[in-house]
């Protein structure tokens, strides 16, 4: 089982990140404000004008710690990537699959199926954890609709049809998404998915989460 490590968010303008032995050190105005073991971190996300020492960047690349840079508003800019290892024969076969319409559709179908299953799990967990939530009947109906989409997806062979099933499931999921918000509904109202740019707090949070998951 893979151990989930921590993610460090650095948002203070002018902060300086460097390495001290096997630890990450964050300084603000030359004063040490944080020191953590490198082994405890999976990712470090820097927002705005954050200074990072070159040796620390190299250390992140060598140790596999993700180091990514965003604007102060959360738009992804760049990330540090260390050396990659892999099987050349496997990589060539992956390229062949990418050039195959049938194989590409097969991979896409598995990916979309996993997305639908996970979305249904979120809805099912909502009903289980908050049985008195408002509109649970609608949530249950959506769960069944997505089950039907999943069944139709299994019989789909063409890539465009797979994309259509993905859109069908996404519309159903986000059509009920507002029911999943059980606190501070006045501040976090949701009337549908929008992006580039997101126009409300919930969509901004969704887009931000997608960015940090890259």
pLDDT at 2 over 60: no
| 10 and 66 both lie in a single domain | yes
Which domain does 10 fall in, by range?
6-80
| 53 and 125 both lie in a single domain | no
Of 21-35, 80-94, 195-209, highest mean pLDDT = 21-35
| 104 and 68 both lie in a single domain | no
Q: Tell me what pLDDT residue 3 has.
A: 52
Tell the residue number behind the tokens 């997608």, with chain if given: 210
Q: What mean pLDDT do residues 12-17 have?
A: 91
pLDDT category at 1 given cuts 50, 70, 90 is very low
The number of folded domains in the chain is 2
| 43 and 112 both lie in a single domain | no
In a domain, residue 187? The reply is: no
In a domain, residue 35? The reply is: yes
Cα 96 to chain centroid, rounded: 27
| 102 and 76 both lie in a single domain | no
Q: Tell me what pLDDT residue 26 has.
A: 93
Please state the pTM of the whole predicted model. 0.66
Torsion from C-alpha of 134, 140, 141, 143, nearest 10 degrees: 130
CATH number of the domain bearing residue 47 = 3.100.10.20
pLDDT at 194 over 80: no
């Amino acid at each position: 089982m893979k151990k989930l490590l921590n993610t460090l968010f650095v948002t203070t303008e002018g902060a300086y990140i460097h390495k001290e032995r096997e630890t990450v050190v964050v300084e603000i105005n030359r004063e040490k404000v944080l020191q953590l073991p490198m082994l405890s971190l999976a990712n470090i996300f820097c927002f705005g004008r954050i200074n990072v020492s070159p040796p620390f960047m190299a250390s992140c690349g060598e140790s596999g710690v993700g180091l990514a840079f965003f604007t102060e508003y959360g738009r992804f800019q760049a990330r540090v990537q260390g050396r990659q290892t892999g099987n050349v024969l496997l990589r060539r076969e992956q390229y062949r699959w990418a050039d195959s319409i049938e194989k590409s559709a097969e991979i896409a179908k598995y990916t979309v199926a996993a997305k639908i299953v996970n979305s249904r799990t979120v809805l099912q967990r909502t009903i289980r954890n908050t049985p008195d939530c408002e509109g649970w009947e609608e949530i249950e109906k959506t769960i069944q609709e997505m089950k039907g989409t999943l069944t139709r997806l299994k019989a789909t062979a063409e890539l465009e049809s797979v994309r259509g099933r993905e859109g069908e499931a996404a519309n159903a999921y986000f059509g009920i998404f507002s029911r999943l918000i059980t606190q501070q509904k006045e501040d976090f109202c949701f009337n549908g998915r929008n992006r580039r740019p997101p126009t409300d707090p919930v969509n901004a949070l969704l887009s931000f989460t997608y960015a940090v998951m890259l």
